[in-house]
A and B are shown apart, each in its own frame.
Chain A
Amino acid sequence: AQSVTQLDSHVSVSEGTPVLLRCNYSSSYSPSLFWYVQHPNKGLQLLLKYTSAATLVKGINGFEAEFKKSETSFHLTKPSAHMSDAAEYFCVVSVFSGGYQKVTFGTGTKLQVIP
């Protein structure tokens, strides 16, 4: 079984300040982990993925995430928030089980960026 917990449903930051979106996971297997972003009325876009190569993963638009196995965490960070970062972010865990790619989504974190 696998699960994903996004610890904050809403995060509010001022423009230019750091962003931290928290994600914890559990999985019976060694998972791959992803972060997706969803802007209003849009589909989900891949931000970054962890696939056991390097624990610090860099993604698009200045985002990065660090995989910490001991803490079962995969938090998303950005040094300086931009207005265009306002969106909903989903942490996702994926394993290959039962013949298909089993993907589990977190419930999402809405990021508000204050000018």
Chain B
Amino acid sequence: NAGVTQTPKFRVLKTGQSMTLLCAQDMNHEYMYWYRQDPGMGLRLIHYSVGEGTTAKGEVPDGYNVSRLKKQNFLLGLESAAPSQTSVYFCASSTPAGFNSPLHFGNGTRLTVT
């Protein structure tokens, strides 16, 4: 049972380059999320999706774009990477069963922008 799978696991970019992070879940969850994790700051929500074809901004959306063309996939794009985007990125998913549904996380993507 794969759960939530993120690719790639590691990536190094130069300033100005672009890339896409892929998140795939096999649990038929409606909700999907992208977070970034920085030391001492916990996890901060970048963008989220409440269903196929819908996306919305979280608390730190600047410099990122997302797409949810298929229910099982949630893509996070960086059009022009900046050193401030060096972080560990986590994807998560959950069911729309109200506020007590736990989030299921992938193992993260470690991104370094030089």
Q: Which residue of A lies closest to B40 (CB)?
A: A107
Supposing A100-B48, A100-B50 touch, asked if A90 and B99 sit within 8 A by C-beta, the answer is no
Interface segment among A12-20, A40-48, A68-76, A78-86: the answer is: A40-48
User: Which of A9, A43, A94 has a CB less than 8 Å from the CB of B106?
Assistant: A43
B43-A90 in contact (CB<8A): yes
Which of under 10, 10 to 19, 20 to 34, or 35 or more describes the interface residues of B?
20 to 34
Residues of B within 8 A of A43 (CB): 4, 90, 105-108
Residue of B4, B31, B102 with most partner-chain A CB within 10 A = B102
B99-A46 in contact (CB<8A): no
Whether A28 is near chain B, meaning CB under 8 Å from some CB there, is no
Rounded to whole Å, the gap between the CB of B30 and the closest CB of chain A is 10
A41-B106 Cα distance, complex, nearest whole Å: 11
Rounded to whole Å, the gap between the CB of B26 and the closest CB of chain A is 15
A103-B105 Cα distance, complex, nearest whole Å: 13
Rounded to whole Å, the gap between the CB of A65 and the closest CB of chain B is 14
A101-B31 in contact (CB<8A): yes
Rounded to whole Å, the gap between the CB of A50 and the closest CB of chain B is 8
Rounded to whole Å, the gap between the CB of A98 and the closest CB of chain B is 9
Whether B13 is near chain A, meaning CB under 8 Å from some CB there, is no
A94-B100 in contact (CB<8A): yes
Q: Which residue of A lies closest to B106 (CB)?
A: A43
Residues of A within 8 A of B72 (CB): none
A43-B42 Cα distance, complex, nearest whole Å: 13
Q: Which residue of B lies closest to A46 (CB)?
A: B102
A49-B31 in contact (CB<8A): no
A101-B100 Cα distance, complex, nearest whole Å: 8
Supposing A43-B108, A44-B105, A101-B31 touch, asked if A108 and B98 sit within 8 A by C-beta, the answer is no
A101-B41 in contact (CB<8A): no
Rounded to whole Å, the gap between the CB of B107 and the closest CB of chain A is 4
Residues of B with Cβ closer than 8 Å to A? Answer: 4, 31, 33, 35, 40-45, 48, 50, 56, 90, 92, 94, 96, 98-108
